[in-house]
Structure 1
């Protein structure tokens, strides 16, 4: 089979390797579409902290069942998406149902080879029927589930004023699912094009440029109160630390971003607000189901999010092109 291999930072190769044999309790999936996310670009750039090279990337996956175990709920040819988090099922977190926070979790395309290939064999529990969602759209379910999980972690409701900082794909997914809960959503970013997309296509109620005057503008917008929920999707320590100043009294701060370095904040200000700091990691099965529900209801503009498309055969060239900021990629999808 063909596979896209990241041999080392900055070097990709389209290689031929044996197709995987289906393991016991696994489903062999014929991969049809692969979404490319920031993690993949970080791997390509050599910036991912938990990865050994060479690696086949790809964790935003849809395809069709090639072979399933006897007695499986899945049938050959059935359209499916893949949940890329391989949890152990036995650790403290897994026993509590928090499989997204498994102590020994392996993520496809990061800790082990992923789906930028023609075939992939994964545990049956990680393979889910698309429920009528088009396969090219199903390749976007995973990144959208990240935002849905963060919104759930923040317990967002229609009573909340929400600020999403960072209007990349993950921030956009948070906007979609905060709006689905009826919240008033403001988005903040440095890029005018991303702000325009968030308000024009995703339903964000207001936008804010992340410049030196942001604090004063937030005070004006909220009458000096701040936001009930702040969701950080910037992936940068400086903006994460800055976000503490945007919290209202009694607010929740959800960190969708993860950074390698320590972050600091003013403890007196945090305590004065009786704020809550919340980590959000990966997603859970009900988050994936929520994405499918909102897609089915027509509340997710998948075709607008999918700004770039290409073939696996051309991926070596496309990856370099799409990794440039001026390419304007929101979500790129490879067709396998």
Structure 2
């Protein structure tokens, strides 16, 4: 089968490798679509922490069942599926408390082990969900939007409360859209006017703020100085994450969805004065995937305007570097097999 391998930073190679078979309790899937994630872009660029080469990238996947391993039931050849790419141990303290998304021994497909930039991939049956009724493009975008859903669930948003989401990338946009579905008043922040426009048109936010022009002052005017009861930072940018504390209201909550390999600092007197709740949000679990699939089926989450770029598997080596160019205005690219 064909497989695209990231041999080293900024170097992909198309290779012919042996087609795998489904092992016991595994399902072999035929890959049909691959969503391109920020993790893939960072890995290609050489700035993804805790990453080793060579690696087959790809963890936002849509496929069909090709072969069942021994002991697998409930699936038939041709069933359309998405992959939960987080392989957990099932034994650590997080797994025992049903927090498999932050397993101590997490192995992420396409990050810690080879992923789906190939024609066939065998995965544990427990890491598959049916996406019957969805398109292949929708199916490929279930995973990133499930990360957004998990972050919103962590924050426990109530109807009519004010939510700020910093960063209009795919995960941030997903947080905005799902927060709107929860009935919140949502304000998006970014430094890019084009992405702020997408947040208005796709996520249906109520207000937008370009933080290059005193974001705190603008937020104070919009909220009559109350600020936001829930703030999500989806940038993975140190400066943004350090500054995000100032947008939180008294008694409010800050959720870090993006991550980076640096220290975060904040002014403790303000943190205590406001009694801010600080949360991290990592990956997603089956509950979040099922929620996202259902909202896609009902049409409450669409991908029109979210899915912006497309190419074939054979074209990816040529197209991928272009998606790193801000002038391309990529929100989400999908590779078709």
User: Which residue matches 1:196?
Assistant: 197
Q: Which residue of 1 aligns with 2:255?
A: 254
Equivalent position of 2:4 in the other structure: 4
Q: What 5-or-longer segments of structure 1 have no aligned partner?
A: none
**1:18 and 2:27 correspond:** no
Shift of 1:217: 1.0
Counterpart for residue 324 of structure 1: 325
Q: CA deviation at 1:49?
A: 1.1
1:41-120 to structure 2, matched below 5 A, reads 41-69=41-69, 70-120=71-121
> Secondary structure, in 3 states, of the residue corresponding to 1:55?
coil
Q: Counterpart in 1 of 2:140? A: 139
Q: Which residue of 2 aligns with 1:35?
A: 35
In structure 1, C-alpha distance between the alignment counterparts of 2:98 and 2:285, rounded to whole Å: 9
Distance 1:193 1:7 in 2: 33
Alpha carbons 1:244, 1:265 under 8 Å: kept: yes
Alpha carbons 1:33, 1:333 under 8 Å: kept: yes
Cα distance, 1:87 vs. partner? 0.3
Q: Name structure 2 gaps, 5 residues minimum.
A: none
Q: Distance in 2 between matches of 1:200 and 1:12?
A: 35
Give the drift of 1:186: 0.3
TM superposition score normalised by structure 2: 0.98
**Which moved further from structure 2: 55-64 or 13-22?**
13-22
Give the structure 2 partner of residue 206 of structure 1.
207
- The Cα shift of 1:20 comes to 1.2
Q: Cα deviations across residues 183-204 of structure 1 (Å, max 9, x unaligned)?
A: 0000000111111111122211
Matched, 1:173 2:180: no
Cα separation, 2, equivalents of 1:217 and 1:228: 16
Q: Is the 8 A contact 2:24 2:72 kept in 1?
A: no
Give how far 1:71 is off.
4.9
SS in 1 for 2:314: helix
Q: Which runs of 4+ in 1 moved over 3 A?
A: none
**Count, aligned residues:** 336
Deviation of residue 19 (structure 1)? 0.9
Residue 301 of structure 2 corresponds to: 300
Q: Deviations over 1:99-123 (max 9, x none)?
A: 0000000000000000010000010
Q: Which residue of 2 aligns with 1:164?
A: 165
Give me the whole-angstrom Cα distance separating, in 2, the residues matched to 1:7 and 1:153. 37
